[in-house]
Amino acid sequence: MKLVVGLGNPGKEYQQTRHNIGWDVVSLVAKQCAAGRSKVKFEGELVEIAIASERTLLLLPHTYMNASGRSVRKACDYYQIPAENLLVICDDFQLSTGRLRMRAEGSAGGQKGLQDIIRQLGSEKWSRLRFGIGQPPPRWNTRDYVLGRFAKEELGLVKEAAQRAAEAVADWVQHGTEFCMNKYNADPHTETGEQT
């Protein structure tokens, strides 16, 4: 069984904000897989889907970003999901808008949700898909920026990237992290791309 977690904050005021892009991607996966009704479980919203006959759980923590690890740990403990079967999707303002970066492990890099998951699981050895939201403009407060919405001119790029991220989830379930790193870490808008 695989567990895919989309990070974000609950509540209407946070919908479609940059910080909720992980949540939006996982919701898109659920929609595309014609998922049934979600259940409120593990301090979050949980739905089960099948990707290429592989049983997959989608989790949207309702704990607010900074306490995401609590929800993730409860789900991992209950279903006895090993670290290699966990994928977390989150925003990253160190990446340009729409860039995707898959990693098999690593530090939180300042992302508070990832930081709490690392703390709760006691390990950095699980996959994460970072979704670029771009750098805050000069003199902008970082918190205001990540909790703001994408500019109109960014929406097309974000929608396209969200679709690629949803495809990356399906590929991760079927083919694993390394396959996804090779396929999705390149910049789709350059001729050669940059595999980082």
- 145 is written with which tokens? 């920026």
Question: Is the pLDDT at 14 greater than 50, yes or no?
Answer: yes
Does the structural domain 2-184 have CATH classification 3.40.50.1470? Answer: yes
Cα torsion for 87, 29, 14, 75, to the nearest 10°?
-40
Residue 160 DSSP SS3: helix
Nearest in space to 79 (alpha carbons), one of 6, 1, 4 = 1
User: Is 19 noted as a catalytic residue in this protein?
Assistant: yes
Residues 6+ apart with CB under 8 A from 176: none
Measured in whole angstroms, the distance separating CA 68 from the mean position of its chain's CA atoms is 12
What pLDDT band is residue 193 in, cutting at 50, 70 and 90?
very low
Q: What is the pTM of this model?
A: 0.93
pLDDT in tens, 158-174: 999 999 999 999 999 99
H helix or E strand, kind and range, residue 50: strand 44-51
45 vs 196, higher pLDDT: 45
- 3 is written with which tokens? 């567990």
What pLDDT is recorded for position 161? Answer: 97
Domain positions in the chain are 2-184
Q: Backbone phi, then psi, for 191, in 5-degree steps?
A: -65, -45
Q: Which amino acid is at 2?
A: K
Max CA pair span of the chain: 49
pLDDT in tens, 62-83: 999 999 999 999 999 999 999 9
Question: Is the pLDDT at 195 greater than 60, yes or no?
Answer: no
Query: Among the options 19, 62, 175, 189, which is catalytic?
Result: 19
* Residue located via tokens 């909720």: 20
pLDDT in tens, 25-62: 999 999 999 888 899 999 999 999 999 889 999 999 99
**Dist. CA 184–CA 196, nearest whole Å:** 10
Strand partners, 41: 44
